[in-house]
Amino acid sequence: MATYVLIPGAGGESWYWHRLVPELRERGHDVVAADLPAGDDSAGLREYADTVVKAIGDRSGLVLVAQSMGGLTAPLVCERLPVELLVLLNAMVPAPGESGGAWWKNTGQAQAMADQAVREGRTPSAEFDPEECFFHDVPQDVKAEALSREEPPQSSTPFAEPWPLSAWPGTPTVFLQGRDDRLFPLEFQRRVVRERLGIEVDDMPGGHLLALSRPKELAERLEAYRTRPR
């Protein structure tokens, strides 16, 4: 039995994982879905990592899965606990000393997102549309539930501070990307991950919110990563 530790992206809500959690538990695993202090302006990445470490407690057999902004926090957890595998999921990959806010410009995310819109026959818009960007492949009932929820706050504090590690931790790391992600397009992620981690990106069908749109397929991918020789 493994312990899957699920770290959400911006907004920090464990609800994001609510369709994936039963899939992993049905496969016999313990699951920790963390809620992060995203609305607390006094909380930075160290405090986010503290929250995850506290949620894990004395559990072992740790597999961390970090969604989107969660890529800033997960490596800090790997520095503190014996994590067996880190799975980055449509994630941000920071460079040492780079703030989360600077990441967007440094990686060229805005241009990559606009180019992706053109390739898909959409008009790049100056006004960000979360529904179009995030929920285009999420089932209608799940989308309706998500949009009916109060939008969780996200403090700017974790984006303002330099990423605190001097290097990526030695934890075995894999990167899984939704090939239909409109926020972080696949080829953009291939370039960033190759440059910053020196590993290749795996992909699967789906957009930015794979745990909402394709939880069963995602669970199968995670299990394949967990059980393959490393």
List, for residues 150-191, the tens digit of each pLDDT value: 989 999 999 999 999 999 999 999 999 999 999 999 999 999
pLDDT, tens only, 184-226: 999 999 999 999 999 999 999 999 999 999 999 999 999 999 9
Strands (E), the chain: 3-7, 30-33, 62-67, 83-89, 173-178, 202-204
Task: With a cut of 80, say whether residue 230 has pLDDT above it.
Answer: no
Side chain identity at 140, as an amino acid letter? Q
Mean pLDDT for the stretch of residues 66-78? 98
Spatial contact of 72 and 159, defined as CB atoms under 8 Å apart: no
pLDDT at 30: 98
Q: Is the pTM of this model over 0.85?
A: yes
Distances in Å between the alpha carbon of 175 and those of 200, 201, 203, 208? 7, 5, 8, 13
pLDDT at 224: 98
DSSP 8-state assignment for residue 14: G
Domains parsed from the chain with CATH numbers: 3-227 (3.40.50.1820)
pLDDT-based confidence at 126, cuts 50/70/90? low
pLDDT-based confidence at 123, cuts 50/70/90? confident
CA 170 to chain centre: 19
